Structure formats: C-alpha cells, structure tokens
Structure 1
Amino acid sequence: MSPGTAPPAERSGSERRLLGIAFVLVLGTFMATVDATIVAVAIDTLATGFDAPVADIQWVTTAYLLAVVAAVPASGWLADRFGGRRVWLLAVGGFLVASALCALAWSLPSLIAFRVLQGLTGGLLPATGQALLARIAGPGRTGRVIGVVAVVPLLSPVLGPLIGGAILGAASWPWLFLVNLPIGALAIPLALRYVPVVPAAPGRTAFDLRGALLLSPGLAVLVLGLTEVAHGRGLPAALGVAAGAVMLVGFVVHGLRTRRVPLVDPRLFTRPPFGAAALALLVLGASVFGTTFLLPLYLQTGHGLSAPGAGLVLAFQGAGAVAGSVLVNRTIDTLAPRTLVLAGIGLILLGTIPFTQLGHDLPEALIAGSLVARGLGMALIAAPVMNIVYSRVEPDLLPRAAGALNLLNTVGGSIGTALLAVVLQSRLETRGADVPQAFADTFLWVLGLCLIAAAGATRLPRTRPRRT
C-alpha cells in the first residue's frame, strides 16, 4: 500500500470509528440539503423585508437548486484531481463563507447571488462525502454505514421547513443562514482529526470543459424552463425546455464520442445494475421533493395550516425514514437489493394512494400514517441502491459514480417538483374551485413515477450481497 493511502476500515479501524467518520461527513450533507428547503417558510418574511413580490423571492430557492445542479457533475473530477477529503473541506469552508454572506445580504439581488455561491459549494458535499466514505469503508462494510448517509437527504426536505419555522419564530431571517456556521465549525476540525486522507486518482485527467459547458447549463436551463411552464410563461418556458434538451443530447453524444474521461460517463448507465439503480434514485428524488412541494401547499390552502404547522405534519415522513434506516441497517447485508427496493416502492405506493383521494376530506390520522409509510419506503430504496453501486464499482470510479448518482437524485427532485407544479397548475385551471381534487389528480402522477421506478427495480440483483 502506498504511503498516505488510507487502508480499508475493515482492516484498520473499528466499526465505531467508521460510524464516527460517517457522522462527520454527514454533517456536510446535512447543511447542504437542509438549505435547499429551509427558506421555504420564509417567503413572506423575505418579501416584506426586501419589499419584493413573491415571484421574485422564489429565486432565493430556485437559484440555490440550479447552482447545486450545476456543481454536482464536477464533484467526481475534483475528487479525482485533488483528493476527496481536501475537496470536502474546501467545500465546507466555501459553504460557510457563502452562508455568512447570505446573512449579510443588503438586497434581494445580493441574496440571490450569495445563494448561487452557496449552491455551488454545497452541491459538492453529498457526492464527495459519499464517495470518500465508500473508499474508507471498503466493499465489505459499505452497507453498514450507507444507511446513515442515505437517510439524511430523505430527512432534509422535512427538517428544512421545520427548522426554518422554528428559527423565524424566535429570530430574524439572517439566522436561517447563520445556523450553518456552528455546524461547519464543528465539522471541519472533526474531519481534520478523524477522516483519513484518501489519495487522488493516479494520473491527472484533463477537465472535460466541453462536457461541463453542455451538461451543467443544460440541466439548469431545462429546470428553469419547466419552472417557467409552472408560472404560465409560454415563450420563456418553450425556449428553456428546448435549449436544455438540446444541450443534454449534445452532452450524451459528446460523452459517447470523446476519447477523454467525460464529466459524467453515459456508459455508466449501461452497466448493470447501475442503470436500474440510477432510475430508482431519479424517481425517488422526484417523489420525495414532489410530495414535499405538494402536501404543505395543500395543507395551507385546503386546511388553513400555517407554514410551520404544515412542515410539522411532514415530520411523520421523517419519522418513517428514521425507522426505515434502522431496519435497512439490520437487513442490508442479508436481503437481496431487489427485495428491499421493491418493498420500499410498495410502501411509497401504499402511502401515496390516500393522497389521490384528497377531495374526500381525509382524516388527519390517515395522512400521518401515509407519510410514515412513505418515509419507511424511501429509506428502503435509498440505502440499498447506494450500496449496490458503491460496493460494486471499482474504487477509482467511486467519485464519478457518486457524482452521477447524486446528480440524478438532485435532478429528479428539481424536475419532479417542476413537473408536478405544471400538472397542479393545469388541474387547478380545470377543477376551478375544487382545489382538493386538483391536488388529488396531481398525486396520480406521483403514483405513475413510482410505477416507473418499480419497473426499473425489477432489474436489480435478486441475490443477497456476498460478504467480503
């Protein structure tokens, strides 16, 4: 083993030490993913503070998500080039600086600009942390710790509005961003002390500039175009969707033809079981973020709940995700991935069906139970899918595989939310005053996404993983 190389955790460290490393790396993922939704409950507060219309304030969230989508593809190359721990530490530092600047924003344009910087640094944290943890753990123990990592993106859409509502109840809006500072201040020294150095990939691969100019802007423009569709702006929407689609097709052609290592290799998705796993994560992202968008909006417009109250209802989904992560941690090394994922999709379907009946004034207990089932099902999908990829991909490919998976999850959430917003707008226009039924119609699309994921999951491995 070369000097400076971190030996696999199953040889050099205890399971407790490995879980400690996972906890440290999860702090970065937690900051980045919670910040995607923490300002959702502050729209009215920011509109009043900056004397701006709500449509403009929405850019505080949209700008962050677009920046994350743009940053994720570069995470694999950066980790290969400079080493995973170094990139992770620099991303945490940059995220903290951007958070402080957001809190000091003097105008809406300045806040949006600093949110872009926040997204560019935060977008690197989940993929880099997951790839780094998989390298440190080794194939034999990846399944043991991946449940800890996988549950955070499931909890973040739930915790973001809850934390945001609690902060606004006790302090002013800058604290929505200042809350990141103590978390990052804890994460950096812990990482320096406990996270071992994993060396950069041998050889220096040139950065895929042409791919970056096609993929990141293409995804951002596509999501932006779908957002414009939801707002009813026909020409900008058509231009955005068309331009984004053309750039993405161009990237796929470039990725298949180039002799260099592409930013995200399209061939990865043809390697079983990576393609089926990627589809499951894509649809999972759409389902998680789509429901997080639809349900609070329905609870506020249909039930008269406040934004913090609506966020509190979503806590049941978080409770289900926590319970699911415990269950997965106990079974991930003994049950076949396909069994776990299909069971998870089944639970999400079961938990989504009641929301297709919102026009019938559902009891609150049924809504809570449905959310628990959905959270449990989401945990049964996320961890096994990540374990499949991280335990079977060659170590040198882990950073790029992690970047591709996180990109799909992020894109799934962004496109899924934008698509459901378009469907909801259409159904509201059709249903008129029957708002609950319009939401019920939209949740039928969430069911459709789950069925697509189930079809892809049938191609996952049907045998339990071998112990190494």
Structure 2
Amino acid sequence: MTTTISTRRGGRPDEQPAPAPRTTAIVLILVLGAIMTTFDMTVVNVAINRLSQDFDAPLATVQWVATGYSLALGAMIPATAWATGRFGGTRLYLAAIGLFTAGSILAGAAWNIESLIVFRVLQGLGGGMIMPVGMTILLRAAPPDRLGRMMSMFGLAILVGPLTGPVLGGWLVDEVSWRWMFFINLPIGAVVIALAARLFPRDAAETRRPLDVPGLLMLSPGLATLIYGVTTGGERHDFGSAGVIVPIVAGTVLIVAFVARAMTARHPLIDLALFRDRSFASATATLVLFAAGYFGSMILLPLYYQVVRGESATMAGLLGITGALASGTAMQVGGRLVDKFTPGKVVLTGITIAAAGFALFTGALAADTPYWVLMAALAVIGAGGGTTMMPTMTAATRGLSHDQAPAASTTVNLINTMSGAVGTAVVSVLLTNAMAGRVSGQATHLSDEARSSVAPALADAFQHTYAWALALIVLALIPALFLPRRPAKA
C-alpha cells in the first residue's frame, strides 16, 4: 500500500492524517475518555458534606479528596510530552485510561477518608495524562483543513463536563450513593479501552529524547506546590497565612527555575521555543486570561442559587444547563468557522459574545432576578465560551509538526488547568471578602427566614465578584488582537 507524505510547519515529512470517518471515530473516543476526567474534577464538590458525614471526618480533611486529585493531575501533565515519545501515544493513552479507571473503582470502594484520598491521587495520575495525550493523538490524526471542527468536538468535554458534573453528581449523591460517582467510570473506561485499542493508529517509531530529570523535579513539584497553595488559599479564603504564602512562593520559585533551565537545556521537558511562534504565544496568553475568568466563575453560579436563592445542589446544577447546551452547540459552530476563517476573527467574536453575556448576567444579578433572565444570559456566556476556547487552542496548535504536537498539547493543557485552578481560588476569595463586607456571620448556613433578610446584600456580593470575572474576559481581548486575522500566504 502506498503511503502519502505531507509536510507541516516546522517539521519533517509526516504520514498523511487518518481518513475523515476514522478521524471522527477517534475524536468521539477521545471525548468519551476526556469526559471522565472533567466530570471527576467537579462532581466531588457536591458530595463534600455527604462524605464528611459518612466518614465522620472534618471538612478540612474531606476537601483533600478534591485537592489531592488536582495536585496529581497538575503534577503529571509536564511529563506527558516525554512519555508520549518514549512509549507512543496510543499505548500511553490506554495506560492512562486504565490507571484512571482502576483508581475510580478503588475510590468507589474506599473504606475510610484516608483511603479515598489516596485513590483519588491515583485517579489524578491517570487523569493528568488523558487530555494532553488525547490532544496529541488528535493533532496527528486530523487533516489540517478539518482540525478546527475536530478540536471543537474534542473540546465538548472541557466545557460541558464541568457544567453537567454537578447535576449528575448531585442526583447520584441524593438518590443512589456517592460511591457511584466513581463506579460510573468503570463501564465508560472499559468501552474507551476496547474502542481505542481497535481504532487508534498504531504507534510508529519515534525519536526518543532523554528525560529531563532536573526539569521534571522542578516543574512537577513546583506546579503541585503552587496548586496546593492557591487551592488552600481559596478554601481558607485567606492568602495571607504562612500555610498559603510559603507553598505559593516555593512553587513559583521552582517554576521560574524550570523556565531558566528550559531556555538553555538541550532536551527540555517542555519546549519553550514554541512561544517564539506568534500564533502560539498569542493563543496561550488569551487562554490564560479567558480560562481564569470563565472557569473561575463557574464556582459562583451553584453557590448563588444555593446561598442566595435557597436551591438544592441538584437544582442549582440544572439551572446552569443552558450554559452547557449553548457552549456545546457554539463549540461545533466555532470549530467549523475556524476552518473557514482566520482564528483571530473567530476568537475575537467569541470573547466579545462572552463578555456581553457576563455583562448581562452581572447587571441583572439580584436576589429576585427571574430565573429565565439569568438562564438567557448564561446561554450567551456559554455561546461565547464555546466560540472561544477550542478555536484558541486550534490557533495554538494548527500547523505544528508531528514532533511538536506532544509539547504543544502538554503546554496548552497545562496552561488551561493552571489558569482554571488559580481563577477558581481567586474568585472564591473575592466572593468571601465581598460577603464578609456585607453580611456578618456565616452566610452559607442560614435559615430561610434569615436568608430572605440578607439576600439582597448577598446578591450584591455575587454581582461584585462576577464583575472581576468580566474584567478578565475583557482583558483576554488584548492578546487575541495579535492572533492571525488574515489568511497565511501560501
């Protein structure tokens, strides 16, 4: 059989991407696998109180069920570019899904809070590889003229997972058992492994680079320590204590040291030379600001419905479903648009729509705002997010060579994860400070009568916090202006 050869920007000749029908099947499998990880990043939040009751453990300890997962997730991402070259994308993806599924089964069978935390870390070690390795497989399989729509399909898990997780998680906790939040991954993981082993391309021989051990020992602990400090600050609603400042400073120092080393190392863990490319640098800068504002604000919506309006966790999740539907729909449209038009035009349009949605939502937010008004504004926000996130990632990765794909996907996913974590923590602190300045006492544990008396002040606190998220979204317009807005010359 004859092999057709093509050349991509900045690299050697590569094998022609898989035919369209098979590429679509590969993307759908990747979406199914990615949904498990994005779902598990949010689903535990609705079960914190139930876990505290069942295991008779303090909330500070139970919170490590979520924090431990996030730390493991962030720590594993940096090594995936090297591991992809060492073991092959398909083999590494199958191993990651297997590890995540095994961790899910063990987490569902946990006998005490300590074992649950350990098994959640195991989940995170597998989950940290799934998204970047999956994106690498997609970049290598998708034809350049269809990359936008393929990336948009893949991105369904990134935007829809965090919004639907609280809905399904709330129902499982209320009606079935918290253990099924983890057991549900078993059939999904089994299907993904079976289909991936059958349909994914076989791993070809690759140039193996030595592992940058010093870089790994700087970046992975640095990220884990920084995430710990930021997350702890968000949980305590205080960034002034030594328990928060020390890990943040230590993590930052380690990351800066890694950057200094990566600029001179012969085989760095992450290739910083990618940032010399204008499209990649502009897209990642846009992603930092937009992801921090967009994903950081997601913590606000369920809290508003529960704290201000007195709704249950399940209902709070359901009331946010319009945003998920709008983002998923807009993502598919945006993916097709970015294949036809330049990324700069599509991303600028998406950010503008998202900013308009945030402005509408923030301006309308009050203690008695009709739900249909808020849901309509959420739909606009979701439409903007769906038209921004994956086109931005497409702009960062389009045209990269076969060898550049692992480093690019690792960097993009690392930035997305870190920006979301930092944004969530900062938004949490801003909300707490805003509520403390308007309401005395613990505002999250109020009777219905007490809530009605302070609801306007609480709503004002949420409105104030949403304004900060809106500011980040608007700031994302600045780096987006440097994305290509004219077709590249042949």
TM-score (norm 1): 0.94
1:314-344 CA-partner distances (Å, limit 9, x unpaired) = 1111111122023124322212211111111
The amino acid across from 2:161 in the alignment is: S
1:320 matched to 2:323? The reply is no
Note the 1:9-408 alignment, pairs <5 A.
Answer: 9=17, 13=19, 15-202=20-207, 204-230=208-234, 231=236, 232=238, 234-259=241-266, 261-357=267-363, 358-359=365-366, 361-408=368-415
Q: CA deviation at 1:46?
A: 0.6
Task: Flag structure 1 segments of 5+ consecutive residues without an equivalent.
Answer: none
In structure 1, give the amino acid aligned to 2:378: L
Question: Considering only aligned residues, what root-mean-square deviation do their CA atoms show, in Å?
Answer: 2.0
Give 1:466 deviation, angstroms.
8.1
SS for the counterpart of 2:274 is helix
Matched, 1:461 2:468: no
Residues 119 and 110 from structure 1, CA distance in 2 versus in 1: closer, same or farther, beyond 3 angstroms?
same
Deviations 1:258-277 (A, max 9, x none): 12x21122332232111111
Q: Check whether the contact 1:282–1:412 (CA below 8 A) recurs between aligned residues.
A: yes
| Runs of at least 5 residues in structure 2 that lack an aligned partner in the other structure | 5-12, 441-456
2-side partners of 1:56 and 1:99: how far apart? 19
Helix, strand or coil for the counterpart of 2:477?
helix
Distance 1:271 1:190, change over 3 A: same
Which residue number corresponds to residue 450 of structure 1? 473
Q: Give runs of aligned pairs for residues 405-420 of structure 1, distance below 5 A.
A: 405-420=412-427
Cα distance in 2 for residues equivalent to 1:183 and 1:377: 30
Whether the aligned pair in 1 keeps the contact of 2:149 and 2:332 (CA below 8 Å) is no
Runs of 4 or more, structure 1, over 6 Å off, are none
Pair 1:8 & 2:16 matched: yes
CA displacement, residues 58-97 of structure 1 (integer Å, 9 cap, x when unaligned): 2111111111111111111111111100000000111111
1:427 pairs with 2:434: yes
CA shift for structure 1 position 424: 1.6
For residues 422-466 of structure 1, give each alpha carbon's deviation from its aligned partner in whole angstroms, at most 9, with x where no partner exists: 212222222225222221111121112112211010010002468
Q: Distance in 1 between matches of 2:294 and 2:472?
A: 11
Deviations 1:13-40 (Å, cap 9, x if unpaired)? 2x22221111112211111111101111
2:47/2:169 contact within 8 Å kept = yes
- C-alpha distance in structure 2 between counterparts of 1:350 and 1:362, whole Å: 18
Given that residues 335 and 391 in structure 2 are in contact (C-alpha distance below 8 angstroms), is that contact kept between their aligned partners in structure 1?
no
Deviation at 1:287, TM superposition (A): 2.7
So what's the TM-score if we normalise by structure 2? 0.90
Aligned mates of 1:205, 1:7 — CA distance in 2:
20
Q: How far apart are 1:389 and its partner, in Å?
A: 2.7
Q: How many percent identity over aligned positions? A: 37
Give SS of 2:404's match: helix
Indicate the SS of the match to 1:128. Answer: helix
Alignment size in residue pairs: 461
Cα offset, 1:360, TM superposition: 6.0
User: How far apart, CA to CA, are the structure 2 residues paired with 1:211 and 1:387?
Assistant: 27
Instruction: Return the alpha-carbon distance in structure 2 between the equivalents of residues 427 and 69 of structure 1.
Output: 29
